[in-house]
Structure 1
Amino acid sequence: MTAPLSRRGGGRAARVAARATALSEDQRPVRPGLIGGRYRPLTEAEVTRIHASALVALDEIGLSGAPASGVEILTGAGARLGEDGRLRFPPALVEDMLAKAARDITLPARDPRFDLDLSGQRVHYGTAGAAVHLVEIDGQTYRESTLQDLHDAARIAHQLDNIHFLQRPMVARDLTDNLELDLNTLYACCSGTTKQVGTSFSDPANVPDALDLLHMIAGGEAAWRARPFVSNSNCFVVPPMKFASESCETMEACIRGGMPVLLLSAGMSGATAPSTIAGAIVQSVAECLAGLVYVNAIAPGHPAIFGTWPFGLDLRTGAMCLGSGEQALLSAGCAQMHAHYGLPGGTAGGAADSKLPDMQAGWEQMCSNVLAGVAGANMVYEAAGMHASLLGFCHESLILGDDLIGQALRCVRGIEVDDMTLALDQMRAVCMGGPGHYLGTPETLDRMHRDHLYPRLGDRTSPRQWEEMDKPDLVAKATARKQEILATRSPARFDAATDKAIRARFPIHLPA
């Protein structure tokens, strides 16, 4: 006969105290690097057909627009330059470079706690984009984004558990000089967070100064090369099937400087990519395979993210529709292709077409974040804060996104099935002479914080409790959290001597 479960007395105080103690990383209900991949929108035969079609596109169509340096690099590796100026890639060349490509890489952060293990189908969420507006919640208005806005976004992201990396989400529109823009973007991001940072460069000539700045932050070039905590987000192609010449030159300079690169192909389905989901994935895969050949022809095994980012398009109006079900499928299908190649991959998820953090934004952000995550994308970019189809960024939405991504990560974690979780012993004890419910059982109390994720800002009270608390507003709570974060000094700030040296060398616009 099974002994009845113990009652809640006795050790209840100890259990309450234990629950108040922060869980170790491996016991948290969600955490960076949970393994996805259980959702597969494509069959294996369909994956094979997409790969084969991408090889045909590279061999027969190829890409135009490579800079002279790229033509030399790629033809030296085995690509063919046609009389029409297009570089074509034999399948054997692509397969050879796939064999040389970096796998199971780790993207370092300034703080090793935030390193990103991209092996297998480990999932991470972060920001991205180049929004030109900040969403002002109070007046429900859009204004041009500034360097301070960008720095504040980095500071906020640093404090959010489910934002695992910061790729620059906004352009500092108050800076007009391109070199100062690139340098101050780096400074604003790196002084705001010690998580992995991603950025772009407006001119390849700006890369050497940017690397000098990163060497100063790291403590020397050798320290930087050992742990490159900033990646180059590189739109090396202008879809369809055309290299972006200056971006390619930037990529070459970043590779020589030891910086990881995100090979970013961002065609718009129906405009700069085929309108079908399968066709848009084929083109994006083909373009990124060309980028992979490029990178490994320069430096075999250099860390590169396979960045297939095809975007949806509303064919009635020509507007981007990043919050659509089609977008979610595009991103999930791309994640499946990354897994097919065994490459570290990134795709878009979580951007909203809605202009404000409202119900429309909620369904749009959750749909693509969940599908990209459960499909196993290593890096899900634009996962929080982005509105108006990438035109606007919102600090409050970034904070609300932390809750939302937490729930998406819980879906990524999936369902554990073992003797303990099947709970037959609990069922026997509760149902056969026990209390007839599972509230307060040792197993329920032991697992309540390991199996269940509780939102920080989301409201689960009853209508009566909600009224008694003066009907708290979700966005208002996010604003209060923002003010709390920004009221404290950023833990990512550089030491005084380093900051003084940086300011003596570069025109830094943020106040000391």
Structure 2
Amino acid sequence: MADGSDHVDIPESGDAAGGGRRRGRAGGGGGAARRAARTARKVEAVPAINRRIPTMEILSEEGLATIEYNAETVLEEIGVAFVDNPGALQRWREAGADVQGERVRIPRGLARKLCETAPSQFIHHARNPANSVTIGGDSLVLAPVYGPPFVRDLEKGRRYAVMEDFEKLVKLGQMSKWLHSTGGTVCEPTDIAVNKRHFDMLMAHMTLGDKPFMGSVTEPSRAADSVAMCEILFGEEFVRENSVMTSLINVNSPLTFDATMTGALEVYAAAGQACIISPFIVGGAMAPVSVAGTLTQVVAEVLAGVAYSQLIRPGAPVIFGAFVTSIDMGSGAPTFGTPEATKILWGAGQFARRYNLPFRSGGSLCGSKLPDQQAGMETANTLNAALMGGVNFMLHACGWLEGGLVSSLEKFVIDADQLGALHALAKGIDLSENGLALDAIREVGPGGHYLGCAHTQNNFQDAFWRSETFDNKPFETWSEEGARDTSQMAADRVKKMLGDYEAPPLDPAIAEALRDYVAQRKAAMPDAFS
């Protein structure tokens, strides 16, 4: 089987990349100009959300203190396991923990003390500086689906993902103006050897997009490859001093850190690259069925993981993560968008702020097999919960189907479009003179209408957020245009976005150096498919 190295087309010059290619002005008057504006190729990148609305504070100070006390009790009396990693056990022993076998019992207060050196926010740099984002504070950074082995689209249905699918999803991430990152493992390209596919995935992110991206965590050496490739892309000195990747470290809940995840964490923390410490919890299976019990475990696991990152390198950027779903007690399947998951998300956000750490949660989570009404309802519940819960980094913000087994191209663009609504909500209410609109009320007076008044004419283009995917036309127009449902309209939008895609410029010398590194590393190892 081919190693997949010929999948990515890298522009050989800035001119060929075409991202900033000039185009002639449309003529023919105002109507023609507006038509040209609607049909012209354009790639917009909207800055990260700056939240100007309050966050949900579901727990009282008494509730926070009780759960925190219980979490520290878990760390002190029950402990956490660091499996197959003698180095981690030795670090904990030297830090003052009680280490018996692979069980690490952390004295009350030690983990929280260690967490104090983690920064409250940091910049995730993109190769296009205009796309760099701040993670933490009042910001909300949106990144796409992560991890599915399958993809689905309207044309080919559900199937195992290949590198071509991966590249399409990266291009959609680059083209989606509300997304701030092209993500990480947007799907698993199964046509490339397991031990080599991370090279192709990183090449896609580095060359097909110029937004922030995530590194590989499936083996410590792959994390090291990610750092090495970033040193080529950004320069070694820049990478030493700045975060250019934000990577996902999942806790093997309950209370277990495996060698793969801790090994990747060690690589990234030592290199000063950001990591998300994220318990992966299905309530009732990997944590208690109660909200407070699950929050207790989440806090204990995150404190242990963040503290360990600071044992590697004090000051390493790290994010408090919480990925929590409930379980259907009838079928055993995970469920999404539930009230219980929302409560846990909101509570976890309070603890992240309590510890002065950036917070990761949320996404377009759903259990539906198709981008249908179930998918829409469950996704909307989670997206809004994440906005209100103070999330700073939202993974799975678009494209997630079937409990995370499937990346859907249509749902990717539907969700990415709806992320614009989060941007609008997060702005809060405009209380400026223009926002208060008293002059408009004076102009129109009793019994009039506002369609022609000066305030409406000055603000109509951006007064309301408008979906670019949904259909709000009259029935007759919708019917004449083919009576398309949302999935079909999304499929058409996928085709247009991919048709309009142009790779962002990349220095040819950097592109060549990346190709050489990948070729040499791949040649040094046989293919492995497990």
TM-score, length-normalised on structure 1?
Answer: 0.87
- 1:214 maps to 230
Partner of 2:59: 42
Residues 1:229 and 2:244 are matched in the alignment:
yes
Residue 10 of structure 1 corresponds to none
Q: Which amino acid aligns with 1:213?
A: M
- The 1:478/1:443 distance shift into structure 2, 3 A limit, reads same
Give the whole-Å Cα distance in 2 for the aligned partners of 1:451 and 1:38. 24
Aligned residue-pair number = 485
Describe the superposition over 1:34-71 as per-residue Cα deviations: whole angstroms up to 9, x where unpaired.
21543333334323333232222222221013411111
Using the TM superposition, give the Cα deviation of residue 424 of structure 1 relative to its aligned residue in structure 2, in angstroms. 4.0
Shift of 1:450: 4.0
Q: Secondary structure at the match of 1:199?
A: coil
Q: Percent identity, aligned pairs only?
A: 24
* Correspondent of 2:511 among 494, 499, 503: 499
Q: Which residue of structure 2 aligns with residue 304 of structure 1?
A: 318
Residue identity matched to 1:149: D
Q: Which residue of 2 aligns with 1:56?
A: 73
Distance 1:174 1:415, change over 3 A: same
Equivalent position SS for 1:64: strand
Q: Give the partner amino acid of 2:271.
A: G
User: 1:32 deviation in Å?
Assistant: 1.8
1:115 matched residue in structure 2: 132
Aligned 8 A contact 2:319 2:359 in 1: yes
* Paired AA for residue 233 in structure 1: L
Unmatched 5+ stretches in structure 2 = 1-28, 39-43, 523-530
The match for 1:469 among 469, 481, 484 is 481
String of CA shifts for 1:127-186, please: whole Å, max 9, x gaps. 1321000113125x31101122112111111111111222322111112241x1222221
| Other structure's SS at 1:297 match | helix
Does structure 2 conserve the Cα–Cα contact (< 8 Å) formed by 1:335 and 1:377? Answer: yes
> Which amino acid is the alignment partner of residue 231 of structure 2?
H
Answer whether contact 1:370 1:409 (CA < 8 A) is retained.
Answer: no
Tell me by how many angstroms 1:489 deviates.
5.4
> Hey, what does 1:145 align to over in structure 2?
161
Whichever residue aligns with residue 161 of structure 1, its letter is: K
Describe the SS at the equivalent of 1:306: strand
Shift of the alpha carbon at 1:419?
5.4
In the alignment, which residue of structure 2 is the partner of 1:412? Answer: 426
* Alignment pair present for 1:96 and 2:124: no
- Contact conserved, 2:121 with 2:135, CA < 8 A, in 1? yes
- Give the one of 309, 323, 326 matched to 2:340: 326
Partner of 2:372: 358
Cα 1:215–1:311, aligned 2, differ >3 Å: closer, same or farther?
A: same
1:425: Cα distance to partner? Answer: 4.3
Hey, what does 1:259 align to over in structure 2?
273
Q: Name the structure 1 match of 2:206.
A: 190
2:445 corresponds to = 431
Alignment of 1:222-301 (within 5 A): 222-235=237-250, 237-301=251-315
Q: Flag the 1:120–1:498 CA change in 2: closer, same or farther, 3 A.
A: closer
Q: Which runs of 5+ in 1 are unaligned?
A: 1-12, 23-27
CA distance in 1, matches of 2:442, 2:193: 70
Q: CA deviation at 1:368?
A: 0.3
| Structure 2 equivalent of residue 160 of structure 1 | 176
Mapped pair 1:125 → 2:125 = no
Calculate the TM-score normalised by the size of structure 2.
0.84
CA change 1:215–1:386 in 2 (3 A) is: same
The 3 A distance-change label for structure 1 pair 136 and 72 is: same
Shift of 1:279: 1.8
Alpha-carbon spacing, 1:330–1:92, altered in 2? closer, same or farther (3 Å): closer
Are 1:341 and 2:359 an aligned pair? no
What is the rounded CA distance, in whole Å, between the counterparts of 1:403 and 1:133 in structure 2? 22
